[in-house]
Structure 1
Amino acid sequence: MKNLKSQYVIGGLLIVNLILIISIAILLFNNYFLSKELNNLTAKCYENGGTVKMEIQSLSKGQYHFECLKD
């Protein structure tokens, strides 16, 4: 009986760790692709002779405001 309980505990811990690893991976991928998007927007703005105005509210939620101002 004691062995069965320890198997459930180990199984539960493995599931929790797996969920944690997946959550961290999703956050890292989200931040990576958001930074690529912002870099592309910035580069295109500069190529067109503009000035970048950017406000980042929350990187984890992907909330930002981007403007390319032309003189």
Structure 2
Amino acid sequence: MSIEEELAIYLNKPGFQMFIDAWIFQYKRLGRLGGKIVLDNLDEDQKDCLSGLGLDLSNNKLELTYSQFQKS
């Protein structure tokens, strides 16, 4: 399986949609990619998907700036 296929599978996981929607909202709000997203009350699917990015989800919450996202 190619890296592109693996990425497509990862991005299409059900728990990942909230993360994508938050960045789309930020882009529309700022007119560019930037700022910070905050996701509260993450369910297990969301935590499972986002844990693959190596992020701290210890309180069922994610706070992530765009620069942090780029580094991860």
TM-score calculated relative to the size of structure 1? 0.31
- Larger strand proportion, structure 1 or 2? 1
Q: Please say which structure displays the higher CA radius of gyration.
A: 1
- Larger helix proportion, structure 1 or 2? 1
Higher RCO (C-alpha 8 Å, min separation 6): 2
TM-score calculated relative to the size of structure 2? 0.31
